[in-house]
Structure 1
Amino acid sequence: MGAFDWFWKAMGSTTERNNKKSKSVVAAAHELIPELSSLDDASLAAAVRGTVADGAIGDKPRFLAGLSVASERRLGLTPFNVQNQAVLRLLEGDVIQMATGEGKTLVGAMAAAGYALTGKRVHVITVNNYLADRDAEWMRPLVEFFGLTVASVTEASTREERIAAYRSDVVYAPVTEIGFDHLRDNQITNRSQTVQVPADVALVDEADSVLVDEALVPLVLAGSEGSQQATGQITAAVSHLEEEEHYTIDGEGRNVFLTDKGAEKIERILGIDSLYSDEHIGTTLVRVNLALHAKALLVRDVHYIVADGKVALVDASRGRVAELQRWPDGLQAAVESKEGLDVSEGGRILDSITLQALMRRYPTVCGMTGTAVEATDQLRTFYGLHVSVIDRAQELQRFDEADRIYATMAEKNEAIVEEIAHIHATGQPVLVGTHDVAESEALAEALEERGIEVNVLNAKNDAEEARIIAEAGDTGRVTVSTQMAGRGTDIRLGGADEADHDEVAELGGLAVIGTARHRTARLDNQLRGRAGRQGDPGLSLFFVSLEDDIVKVGGADEQITAQPAADGRIESNRIQQFIEHCQRVTEGQLLEIHSQTWKYNKLLADHRDILDERRAALLDTDTAWRELAERNPQRAAELDHLPQDVKEQAARDIMLFHLDDEWSEHLALMDDVRESIHLRAIARETPIDEFHRIAVREFKDLANRAVDKASETFAEVAITEDGAQLADAGWKRPSSTWTYMVSDNPLAGSGNSVISGIGNIFR
């Protein structure tokens, strides 16, 4: 960091000062608790509300003390001092780091109530539907104690339930539901159709997951178009291709390339002259490349599973089925065709937004997680957020064992099974973190062959997931889980009711085993954090092999030699340092990908802001009618017999239809430009600069085209007392819409999921 040392020291000292200040406020609050405990409920609520003036909390000690007393009365939970400190830091707009089991759910509810009491609407953003529903109901008595309203939005919520929920003071919801409702609201043609109302604060649970890991995931709203999909004929042709001879895969397993021989073979099978002719380059070649991507790079039970006759994608960051996720239509169809399934209906993208762009729409963003420090750079760079580390209520008793390193993956996997069997024999509960569905199932099968009963957690529903993870600390339990599964649910020693807590503590607490290092140390620490809750004993241990992805990618250009023992184990500080170096390299790659991808997305996000302003003007004023009437006064005069509100809504419908249609076309065009922009480097042009130049030019044209087409439609379409008859003129909005997510992070979620050799990895 060199020249910037002064900056980092200054940031560190500022955080330390803030924490000291918070601790002094908490100490003062502690002194006030006896006084406030003597008040009845109404007086206590009034005392807390009385600490707020002009949209800010004036008397913070009294405010915190009142919240603490209310929490004890309504929830039976008395906040620790460190929890009160965390509440203060959230109210200052920080991301707080609190260890697993330290009570983040209560902290979030207290901070949400604090923000709401100052007149701000709060979205408490959870990682799944189950937690949104659970936490809203769990914390409801505390929030309602102060006369505030609270609700949850989940995937199962109806439109009417969503409308009511979003008008509450505190709304619990998964980020995806908030994003999709935002996209749907951007398709309305009358303000009365709005589902959401603006919120002032996003309080993000598992903030590193939402703000960093999944930040660049685009949420997509698509509409029916009935477009032709990739055909089975092309899939069949591609199935005959052989790696190396007909196609090659790059070293990172992210791209596949057709060779000249491969192209010739496809041309021969399909009976065409050239894939690269004008006739085929934009259609057949695209579908061939999609089918090849599906064949060579997407592995069943790693990247997706097939269930109930449908392809279900695996959420890379959680290692379980993502109900709403799909690939862009062409690739989705290619995978469905590869698996011999019915090809789903195609459509056009109507709108999309990344989670990062969605989060930046909130005036205030704050959050909670167990692993924020390692994401400090990203949180500061992309959101301008500071991290506050909150001390544990009780000292950490977990033992973090040094990594066990093996030469080959096979030797490592054998050692993992042996270690689990050894620990299990003592009765100590074991939680194993794997990297994908195939790995979790292969490990479970290997353990069951040893007579060990296993709970596998990879593609269950959220409620089932929470139940299994809550029991993972019971005597003799072995739980094999994909990364992130069950996050947000405590693992209590002795089971969910802690009936056998002391017995399990005597055995050493929960043992957490990682089957490989992740591409960022933060994900390793998320897994470690499942053990050692609230001063309990625990163990964490990671296994690594020199064939793991992290070593292949992070150490790609380096040679390393080692002398393994007979069982393949390598005990060498030099190799341990090399593994850590590989992880730092992959962390750097992830940050660079995030930075580069954001540069592409940022311009579209800026364009979206301009588009939103235009949409708001068209929805909320008579702008549409005035502009169209000025362009065609004769047509406007012909409509004098109609009521003014009918004319304004007709003009609004026309303008919004063409604005939305052009935006959809713009997104498709810019997606195509981005896919091919790397070719610009050949012409010594900087890809990102060229992308920006094209995007700015095209966006200017978009605005002009939308108005010109609206003017033409205004002149031609029938406008009656029922409004503009757009459908009769062939201008139809989609008859159906659906939502999905597209991963925009080429390195997301890869662990041991190397493209080849994952079949029986634990045999």
Structure 2
Amino acid sequence: MASVADFVRRFLDRPGSVDLTPFQRTVERAGELEAEVRERAELRAGEVGTPEFCAVMREAARRALGQRPFDVQLVGMLAMLDGHVAQMATGEGKTLAGALSAAGFALQGKHVHAVSVNDYLARRDAEWMRPLFEILGLTVGWISETSTREERRDAYTKDVTYAAVSELGFDVLRDRLVTDPAELVVPAPQVALVDEADSVLVDEARVPLVLAGAADPGTAVPEMAALVRRLSRGYHYKVDQEGRSVFLTAKGTDTVEKALGVDLYQDPGVVTEVNLALHAHALLTRDVDYIVRDGRVHLINQSRGRVALLQRWPDGLQAAVEAKEKLPASETGEILDSLTIQGLLRGYPEICGMTGTAVAVGEQLREFYDLKVAVIPPNKPCVRVDEPDRIFATAEARQEALLDEIDAQHATGRPILIGTLDVAESERLDEALRARGLRPVVLNAKNDAEEAAIIARAGAQGTITVSTQMAGRGTDIRLGGRPADDDGTAGDPEGSVEESTESDVDESTERTVADLGGLYVIGTGRHDSSRLDDQLRGRAGRQGDPGGSVFFVSGEDELLTAYAAGESLPPSDPDGVVRHKRAEELVAHAQRVAEGVNLEIHRNTWRYTRLMEEQRTHVLELRDRVLHGDAAAEALREAFPDRFRELSETAGTDVVEQACRQIVLFHLDRCWTEHLGYLADLREGIHLRALGRLNPLDEFNREAAPAYRSLLDEVEQRSKETFETADVTADLADQGLKRPTATWTYLVQDNPFGSDWERILQRVAGTLKRRRKK
């Protein structure tokens, strides 16, 4: 039972978090029923949320998986069943707690979508938890990128469906274009249980999922790429302090105009091509923002340090990066529909989730999803030693001290996990360590397929593991390490709670590593988000194990130069370390500013997309009435009673009604596609309205609303014109109602350079000033 001290601490340290006392009392009473439930031959869960329910769920996990959930896992389960985001530390068994929660919802007759961050975790968790669901009389399925339409439809019929968030969104988008109800795949949403909730609900919330069609070869701009390569930073162009915007100087404008033989600002198309090439050249860095593999550009997910499968920039920028790398342009096409991850998940009547770091984004979870955070205490107290940051004036001094520290710790045999900020840094560090005779193992976006096996061995004595961001790895690091299965995956996923004392890790080896201080985590710099630092730190000290962590920071790090520009560190001590309290405050300040900028980008993106989401909701309601009913036939019969009667007599009423349905659906989808294009163009230039002291968001809404009304009028007009002339007995596709012959899905990294209006105005004002001087 929670003490008064716990109660007070919750409100002092974690304001707004959920009071766990009711859940803890329920679990405590469940413990009293454990012996009785264990004697039962058949398990019946009873009323969800009661002590008996908790006792039955614990026994089900013990029988099906050989794992007895800890009290804190049952508390996490109850918190999720109550509609909260459970914050549980690494190694505390989130996967099992999530499965128990999913089962609880399913036992209430609700279909559950267990939302994962990637296909690997979706399949792994579904197969790992299958015995648990089956012992409770429930069914489970999973979906991956390679699943066929029939496999997807079958998976969605299960009580619990595990899937990556992108696959769920793509299925929803594809369903929005079907013309026959029998082709629908995704059932009506009921419950979304989100793993890595902070990453999915916040970090990736504004990522648009796109359905495109009418494929055409991409248009590359190799001449622009070659031109901007000759430009010099600081002379021909400048980058803003946060590294999100780039613009030509007066000299750069002159140079580009002479090279192209045009008046740059009299040709908007050329300006766009130049700006895209300049963005690709100056703001996007190979092995940091993307990698090149198998002749293609692959984006890197900044919050997880891995290849962002199926993700790309908007077509123009994507082509510019491909031209920069001298690669053929990938296919482009017309966007038929789009959906943000935030819009997708807000469509579920019930949302809950789990993660290791939710408190830091508690405000955003409340603001965007009306979710609260339940901070679940660890099963065993954390004894990890988190050292203060080691701060250096220069990157060179930081690097030398970092290498010395790794060398010294490795000499003791202590396992070391080094978290880097990007792929390029991980490779430079690997080279530097090998120059010292050390043999690290590197895990980054270039070899992420091997991650489970690498992480499985990261806790072994004497191991040095260099990795990019650790969020969503899904594999626990055990002291002493553990072997991988034959398929290369880790033999024991994160959160496994063995009832027996048997282990695949030699106990003497584990003890030796523990005596050395446990896993030592070193961060080579602070991330823009404190959550990413906490996720890295949390890899050490699991389940009461010893461990340690420290971050190495320099005054030349991008975090400080971008978000604390104009500020300087206090003088360093003779050993190069800056120990003044002001240094720690400056680093913390820069990180808070970075988090504030990212939050504002999230808010601005949602402000623009919210209206579109509302409009799309109305369109879908209309589309559903047409798809599942006679709304189209009734409307056209009312508009053209004589023609409808004549066609019905010659072709049959069913044929005419089907034709009416196809006509209206085609024009509804076509007009929505055109509306999306209009909104994209509107949003692209709306910020310039601020020059006239107008609010860009108000201006966007002012123009988008009547555009939507015009869309509905246009659908009606086009449908009538088609019905008047169409031969309903022939193929309508041959009469102008041809849909795309091919469609494909991908994610767009929306607004990759930010949307701060002041920054844009500053750039525009600077351009106008330079033009006046000329």
TM-score between the two structures when normalised by the length of structure 2: 0.90
Comparing 164-173 and 700-709, the one that deviates more? 700-709
SS at structure 2 position matched to 1:173: strand
CA distance in structure 2 between the aligned counterparts of 1:684 and 1:457, rounded to whole angstroms: 50
Comparing 19-28 and 489-498, the one that deviates more? 489-498
Unaligned runs of 5+ in 1: 1-5, 749-763
Counterpart for residue 598 of structure 1: 606
Letter in 2 for 1:231: V
SS at structure 2 position matched to 1:397: coil
Residue of structure 1 aligned with 2:316, choices 330, 336, 341:
330
- Does residue 79 in structure 1 map to residue 87 in structure 2? no
How far residue 523 of structure 1 moved from its aligned partner, in angstroms, is 1.5
CA, structure 1 residues 153+342, in 2 after alignment: closer, same or farther (shift >3 Å)? same
1:11-51 residue CA offsets vs partner (Å, 9 max, x unmatched):
979856x41111111011111111111111xx22xx31xx2
1:562-582 residue CA offsets vs partner (Å, 9 max, x unmatched):
211344321111211221122
Counterpart for residue 505 of structure 2: 498
1:235-275 residue CA offsets vs partner (Å, 9 max, x unmatched):
33333333334332222211122344434433433344x33
Counterpart for residue 291 of structure 1: 277
CA distance in structure 1 between the aligned counterparts of 2:259 and 2:735, rounded to whole angstroms: 43
Counterpart for residue 519 of structure 1: 528
CA distance in structure 1 between the aligned counterparts of 2:596 and 2:216, rounded to whole angstroms: 42
CA distance in structure 2 between the aligned counterparts of 1:287 and 1:652, rounded to whole angstroms: 42
Q: Do the aligned partners of 1:130 and 1:462 also contact (CA within 8 Å) in 2?
A: no
CA, structure 1 residues 618+421, in 2 after alignment: closer, same or farther (shift >3 Å)? same
Counterpart for residue 733 of structure 1: 739
Counterpart for residue 628 of structure 1: 636
CA, structure 1 residues 463+338, in 2 after alignment: closer, same or farther (shift >3 Å)? closer
CA distance in structure 2 between the aligned counterparts of 1:400 and 1:12, rounded to whole angstroms: 20
1:448-506 residue CA offsets vs partner (Å, 9 max, x unmatched):
11121121111256652122112211111111111135622111111123222112111
- Does residue 617 in structure 1 map to residue 607 in structure 2? no
Q: Do the aligned partners of 1:326 and 1:740 also contact (CA within 8 Å) in 2?
A: yes
Counterpart for residue 755 of structure 1: none
CA distance in structure 2 between the aligned counterparts of 1:256 and 1:12, rounded to whole angstroms: 39
Counterpart for residue 495 of structure 2: none
Counterpart for residue 568 of structure 1: 576
CA distance in structure 2 between the aligned counterparts of 1:322 and 1:427, rounded to whole angstroms: 35
Letter in 2 for 1:240: R
Q: After superposition, where does 1:423-434 map in structure 2 within 5 Å?
A: 423-434=409-420
How far residue 638 of structure 1 moved from its aligned partner, in angstroms, is 3.9
CA distance in structure 1 between the aligned counterparts of 2:683 and 2:16, rounded to whole angstroms: 41
How far residue 672 of structure 1 moved from its aligned partner, in angstroms, is 1.9
- Does residue 744 in structure 1 map to residue 750 in structure 2? yes
1:707-762 residue CA offsets vs partner (Å, 9 max, x unmatched):
21222222233321x6x522x234322222222212236479xxxxxxxxxxxxxx
How far residue 609 of structure 1 moved from its aligned partner, in angstroms, is 1.0
Counterpart for residue 728 of structure 2: 719
CA, structure 1 residues 13+256, in 2 after alignment: closer, same or farther (shift >3 Å)? closer
- Does residue 92 in structure 1 map to residue 101 in structure 2? no
How far residue 64 of structure 1 moved from its aligned partner, in angstroms, is 0.8
Q: After superposition, where does 1:564-713 map in structure 2 within 5 Å?
A: 564-640=572-648, 641-713=650-722
CA, structure 1 residues 460+68, in 2 after alignment: closer, same or farther (shift >3 Å)? farther
Letter in 2 for 1:549: E
How far residue 9 of structure 1 moved from its aligned partner, in angstroms, is 5.6
SS at structure 2 position matched to 1:613: helix
1:413-457 residue CA offsets vs partner (Å, 9 max, x unmatched):
222122111111111111111111111111111111112112111
Counterpart for residue 555 of structure 2: 546
How far residue 142 of structure 1 moved from its aligned partner, in angstroms, is 0.5
How far residue 228 of structure 1 moved from its aligned partner, in angstroms, is 6.1
Counterpart for residue 758 of structure 1: none
CA, structure 1 residues 523+275, in 2 after alignment: closer, same or farther (shift >3 Å)? same
SS at structure 2 position matched to 1:444: helix
Counterpart for residue 236 of structure 1: 226
Counterpart for residue 40 of structure 2: 39
CA distance in structure 2 between the aligned counterparts of 1:342 and 1:417, rounded to whole angstroms: 40
CA, structure 1 residues 310+628, in 2 after alignment: closer, same or farther (shift >3 Å)? same
Q: Do the aligned partners of 2:217 and 2:329 also contact (CA within 8 Å) in 1?
A: no
- Does residue 27 in structure 1 map to residue 28 in structure 2? yes
How far residue 339 of structure 1 moved from its aligned partner, in angstroms, is 1.4
CA distance in structure 2 between the aligned counterparts of 1:108 and 1:509, rounded to whole angstroms: 28
CA distance in structure 1 between the aligned counterparts of 2:223 and 2:17, rounded to whole angstroms: 61
Q: Do the aligned partners of 1:469 and 1:486 also contact (CA within 8 Å) in 2?
A: no
Counterpart for residue 180 of structure 2: 190
How far residue 123 of structure 1 moved from its aligned partner, in angstroms, is 0.7
Q: Do the aligned partners of 1:457 and 1:485 also contact (CA within 8 Å) in 2?
A: no
CA distance in structure 2 between the aligned counterparts of 1:486 and 1:422, rounded to whole angstroms: 30
Letter in 2 for 1:459: A
SS at structure 1 position matched to 2:216: coil
Letter in 1 for 2:32: E
Counterpart for residue 394 of structure 1: 380
Q: CA RMSD in A?
A: 2.1
- Work out the number of aligned pairs and report it: 722
How far residue 225 of structure 1 moved from its aligned partner, in angstroms, is 4.0
SS at structure 2 position matched to 1:276: helix
How far residue 687 of structure 1 moved from its aligned partner, in angstroms, is 0.9
Q: Do the aligned partners of 1:466 and 1:486 also contact (CA within 8 Å) in 2?
A: no
How far residue 107 of structure 1 moved from its aligned partner, in angstroms, is 0.5
CA distance in structure 2 between the aligned counterparts of 1:516 and 1:745, rounded to whole angstroms: 25
How far residue 323 of structure 1 moved from its aligned partner, in angstroms, is 2.1
CA distance in structure 1 between the aligned counterparts of 2:67 and 2:753, rounded to whole angstroms: 41
How far residue 85 of structure 1 moved from its aligned partner, in angstroms, is 1.0
CA distance in structure 2 between the aligned counterparts of 1:267 and 1:573, rounded to whole angstroms: 51
Q: After superposition, where does 1:435-450 map in structure 2 within 5 Å?
A: 435-450=421-436
1:119-153 residue CA offsets vs partner (Å, 9 max, x unmatched):
00001111111111010000000111121110111
CA, structure 1 residues 410+224, in 2 after alignment: closer, same or farther (shift >3 Å)? farther
How far residue 407 of structure 1 moved from its aligned partner, in angstroms, is 0.3
Counterpart for residue 130 of structure 1: 120
1:270-299 residue CA offsets vs partner (Å, 9 max, x unmatched):
344x3333xx32x33222221221122111
CA distance in structure 2 between the aligned counterparts of 1:389 and 1:226, rounded to whole angstroms: 50
Unaligned runs of 5+ in 2: 1-7, 483-503, 755-774
1:626-678 residue CA offsets vs partner (Å, 9 max, x unmatched):
22232333442342122333322222222122211221222222122222121
CA distance in structure 2 between the aligned counterparts of 1:413 and 1:13, rounded to whole angstroms: 38
Letter in 1 for 2:115: I
CA, structure 1 residues 731+484, in 2 after alignment: closer, same or farther (shift >3 Å)? farther
CA distance in structure 2 between the aligned counterparts of 1:31 and 1:105, rounded to whole angstroms: 25
Letter in 2 for 1:236: A
SS at structure 1 position matched to 2:264: coil
CA, structure 1 residues 13+632, in 2 after alignment: closer, same or farther (shift >3 Å)? same
CA, structure 1 residues 712+562, in 2 after alignment: closer, same or farther (shift >3 Å)? same
CA distance in structure 1 between the aligned counterparts of 2:646 and 2:399, rounded to whole angstroms: 79
CA distance in structure 2 between the aligned counterparts of 1:26 and 1:747, rounded to whole angstroms: 48
1:94-137 residue CA offsets vs partner (Å, 9 max, x unmatched):
11111110111110111101100000000111111111101000
How far residue 84 of structure 1 moved from its aligned partner, in angstroms, is 1.0
Counterpart for residue 516 of structure 2: 507
Q: Do the aligned partners of 2:218 and 2:319 also contact (CA within 8 Å) in 1?
A: no
CA distance in structure 1 between the aligned counterparts of 2:424 and 2:661, rounded to whole angstroms: 52
Letter in 1 for 2:190: D
Comparing 602-611 and 680-689, the one that deviates more? 602-611
CA distance in structure 2 between the aligned counterparts of 1:259 and 1:593, rounded to whole angstroms: 26
Letter in 1 for 2:612: L
CA, structure 1 residues 626+413, in 2 after alignment: closer, same or farther (shift >3 Å)? same
Counterpart for residue 771 of structure 2: none
Q: Do the aligned partners of 1:396 and 1:534 also contact (CA within 8 Å) in 2?
A: yes
Counterpart for residue 761 of structure 1: none
